[in-house]
Copies of this chain bind each other. A is one copy, B any other.
Amino acid sequence: MKPAVAVVEPQTLGNVGTIARAMKNFGMDDLKLVNPPEFGRDSEAYGFAGQAREDVLPNYDAVTLDHLVENYHTVACTATTNEDARKHRRFPFKTPPELADSLRDVDAPTVLVFGREDNGLTNEEIARMDEICSIPASAEYSSLNLGQAATVTLYELRELTVGEFQHPDVERERADEAEIEGFYDHFAEFLAAIDHPEEKREKTLRLARRLFGRAHPTGREVRTLRGVLRRAMYHADDE
């Protein structure tokens, strides 16, 4: 499930580039523009696109809204949801994580539709779409810039769209339980070696367990700390 991303009548070319860049950051590539201004390689669209200037942006399709409604499961993206169950143009809506959950099982070609910088999508346009997505933001100022709204929405879909993330495998890096328990044993020996008051040792050990446990240490961190303990114990024996 890798949705297309459409922008209806974008006015600011920088936003088109920003959206293309976010698409590439989060593994999407099918950009549709409805009635965009003309733009070339020297425009802000290319200026803001980062590496998406090589593929996502130049390969965009110019389409009509009719084409999208007729051929796609359409998701209207809008900040404005000042409605409740009495109206049905902008309600009910999903938040981006709810959208990601629900698209997981959708097999149809799907497009996320973003509107104009100033007025978003009209009620008439939204009425033609299949569902609505809206980013939770401050009631005081809920309107995100178009490029920022698209970035947040695409980011939330990343588990559906990104093949391989840039991050190393954190689970694999975490020390295994035996290593961590070995550290606590070592720490207990260390407390004895430095003559930490006997009646306080249990409490201090528990504190260490809580502190290091919260931090989920890596194997290297555990080994480094044990090296420090060894050295400290060596000097304690010296006295």
- Selecting from A3-11, A196-204, A215-223, the interface stretch reads A215-223
With A138-B163, A162-B137 already in contact, the answer to whether A84 and B168 are too (CB < 8 A) is yes
Chain A binding site: helix, strand, loop or mixed by DSSP?
loop
Instruction: Give the contacting residue for A165; candidates B25, B138, B152; CB below 8 A.
Output: B138
Q: Flag whether A66 is at the interface (Cβ < 8 A).
A: no
Which of the residues B85, B166, B170 comes within 8 Å of A92, measured between beta carbons?
B170
- Contact check, B145 vs A18: say whether CB atoms are below 8 A apart: yes
CA distance A135 to B165 in the complex (A): 10
Which residues of B lie under 8 Å from residue A163 when comparing CB positions? 138-140
Contact B136 A166 (CB under 8 A): yes
| Residues of B close to A168: CB separation below 8 A | 81-84, 91
Min C-beta distance of A84 to chain B, whole Å:
5
Number of copies: 2
Is the pair A148, B151 in contact by a Cβ cutoff of 8 Å? yes
- Give Cα A143 to B219, complex, Å: 28
Tell me the minimal C-beta distance from A95 to chain B in angstroms. Answer: 8
5 closest residue pairs by CB, A with B: A142-B166, A85-B218, A139-B164, A85-B220, A85-B173
Please list 10 pairs of residues, one from A and one from B, whose beta carbons are closer than 8 Å in the complex, sorted by A's number: A24-B140, A25-B148, A27-B138, A81-B166, A85-B218, A95-B167, A139-B162, A147-B148, A148-B148, A155-B155
- By a beta-carbon cutoff of 8 Å, the part of chain A in contact with chain B is 14, 18, 21-22, 24-27, 48, 50-52, 79, 81-86, 88, 91-93, 95, 134-145, 147-148, 151-152, 155, 158, 162-168, 170, 173, 216, 218-221
